[in-house]
Amino acid sequence: MADHDLVIIGGGPAGLTAGLYAARANMKAILFEAKDIGGELLNTDLIEDYPGYESITGRELAEKMGAHATKFGLKIQPYSPVKKISSDGDWKVITMEDGTTHRAHAVIVTVGGEPIKLGVPGEEEFHGRGVSYCAVCDGAFFKGEDLAVIGGGDSAFQEGLFLTRFARKLSLVHRRTDFRAQAILQDRLLGMEQVTAITPATVKEIGGDTQVRWMDVERNGSIERISVGGVFVFIGFKPVGRHLFDEHIDHDENGYLLTDQYMRTNIPGVYACGDTRAQLAKQVTTAVGDATTAVLHAERYIEELKHMRRSFPEATSEVLEREVERMTVKRYLAGQTIIREGDPADSFMIMTKGAASVRQNGPNGEREVSTIKPGDFFGEIGLLSGTPRNATIRATAPSEVLVLDAAGFRDLIENSTETKQRVQTSMEERLAKVGGKTGS
């Protein structure tokens, strides 16, 4: 079993972006892709709405994104299908189809989805013999033939445009008269001489001999048989991310994974991005944005988890994960006050970087009573005793502190007698040092 900070599953635009950021942050990350790197980009001829590239082929953009991430040190493993993701304490265990396993503190799922099928007679039988779900992959096999595209969205129009390079005639079959594809794509495709829109119409059957030769289409209550050598189906896409989990992962009624604004799913340490996530748009731009957010949050989550594990080795994984999800990070410059004597005690803190001085006011002014270094926790006295802070804590170097609210603190100590005892002992030791005043 290999251990990683982060495992990214899926090598489309979202996965490659997450990988780029992870590699640049020096995280121990690996990306698994079941097929070639590029995801849906490989099924797309031209991309014309990715800022900075007026027009670029999907394959070229995929290659550029892959090269960019590997240049910064990302480990990419294509042809490595993942079978399932499960939790083992606060580790995520990734089991590959070949039976090998990997462990990671966090997982970003960017596995996209698969094409929706028409579900009509002949579709399955002729898949690979004239029925296709990828014009870029198969279009060139149909040079000079009459072809059909089914669907009325961006994919149908985008792929239809690609097929006009090969098709003698192209029929666009859509179940409504209005199309949902972007206007610019509609104008381009429907303005072409060899293209005929057949609407409102539904495909009833696809048939032929060794290859597709015809399809039956119902329009206005009657069935027409249209001669075609190829039927390209683009009627949408169904997400596959949730099938990787045995345990429940929140998803909408169509199977898209639900996340918050940080791309977190309901399973701590599991993030979802791109086309497998429930959201308004499925664009390269949104996939890239999702992944940026996810990996920046995951980086913080992993760091916090490691700090919590070091500070509270006896706490259960579930409790640690829960508290990490509640925590915030605060940063202080040298000289800034972290806690002020007399303020209400509403949080518990763990220093992760820097140093601080614990100071109390006395008859001769403020004096240092102790110091705080990375790994130390503080702020427990006021929370346990219900009194205001009994000391001022001031950063003496640029410092970073994890802040847990009062409810999280209670959850942490109530779930482990060992933690409770340790925090209690620390409070007593500190109180002994400062002469019994309760508070910070």
State how far the Cα of 338 lies from the Cα of 350, in Å rounded to an integer: 11
Phi and psi based region of residue 189 (left: phi greater than 0; alpha: psi -120 to 50; beta: remaining) = alpha
What pairing do the DSSP bridges indicate for beta strands 82-88 and 377-378? unpaired
Q: Which is nearer to ligand NAP, 84 or 175 (CB)?
A: 175
Where do the DSSP E strands lie in 273-426?
A: 328-332, 337-339, 347-362, 365-372, 377-378, 392-405
Among 38, 58, 66, 152, binds ligand NAP (CB under 6 A): 152
Residues from 337 through 366 that contact ligand NAP (CB under 6 A): none
The number of residues that bind ligand NAP (CB under 6 A) is 19
Phi and psi based region of residue 379 (left: phi greater than 0; alpha: psi -120 to 50; beta: remaining) = left
Q: Decide if 137 is catalytic.
A: yes
User: Which is catalytic among the residues 134, 154, 275, 290?
Assistant: 134
Position 245: which residue type? F
* Segment interacting with ligand NAP (CB under 6 A) among 6-14, 97-105, 148-156, 162-170: 148-156
Q: How far is CA 89 from CA 41, 105, 193, 263, 411, in A?
A: 36, 10, 61, 21, 17
Shortest Cβ 186–ligand NAP spacing (Å) = 11
Shortest Cβ 81–ligand NAP spacing (Å) = 23
Decide if 14 contacts 110 (C-beta within 8 A): yes
Close Cβ partners of 22 (under 8 Å, ≥ 6 residues apart): 5, 6, 8, 29, 74, 295, 298, 299
Q: Which is nearer to ligand NAP, 35 or 180 (CB)?
A: 180
Quote the crossing angle between the two packed helices 417-434 and 406-414, to the nearest 10°: 120
Shortest Cβ 232–ligand NAP spacing (Å) = 12
Among 158, 164, 171, 440, binds ligand NAP (CB under 6 A): 158
Q: Which is nearer to ligand NAP, 151 or 354 (CB)?
A: 151
Shortest Cβ 403–ligand NAP spacing (Å) = 39
Q: Decide if 138 is catalytic.
A: yes
User: Which is catalytic among the residues 137, 178, 252, 346?
Assistant: 137
Decide if 16 contacts 41 (C-beta within 8 A): no
Q: Which is nearer to ligand NAP, 291 or 434 (CB)?
A: 291
Shortest Cβ 282–ligand NAP spacing (Å) = 4
151 lines the binding site for ligand NAP (CB under 6 A): yes
153 lines the binding site for ligand NAP (CB under 6 A): yes
Q: Which is nearer to ligand NAP, 117 or 420 (CB)?
A: 117
Shortest Cβ 392–ligand NAP spacing (Å) = 54
Decide if 402 contacts 310 (C-beta within 8 A): no
Among 35, 176, 310, 433, binds ligand NAP (CB under 6 A): 176
Q: What is the CB neighbour count within 10 angstroms for residue 55?
A: 9
Among 83, 129, 180, 373, binds ligand NAP (CB under 6 A): 180
Q: How far is CA 99 from CA 216, 242, 254, 270, in A?
A: 45, 20, 29, 21
At residue 437, the 3 state secondary structure works out as coil
Which H or E run includes 75? strand 75-77
Among 45, 49, 205, 400, binds ligand NAP (CB under 6 A): 49
282 lines the binding site for ligand NAP (CB under 6 A): yes
Binding mask 75-114 for ligand NAP (x = CB under 6 A): ----------------------------------------
Q: Which two tokens stand for residue 127?
A: 């898949």
Residues from 220 through 239 that contact ligand NAP (CB under 6 A): 234-237
Position 115: which residue type? P
User: Which is catalytic among the residues 36, 49, 138, 376?
Assistant: 138
Which parts of this chain interact with ligand NAP (CB under 6 A)?
49, 118, 151-156, 158, 175-176, 180, 234-237, 281-283
Residues with catalytic roles: 134, 137-138
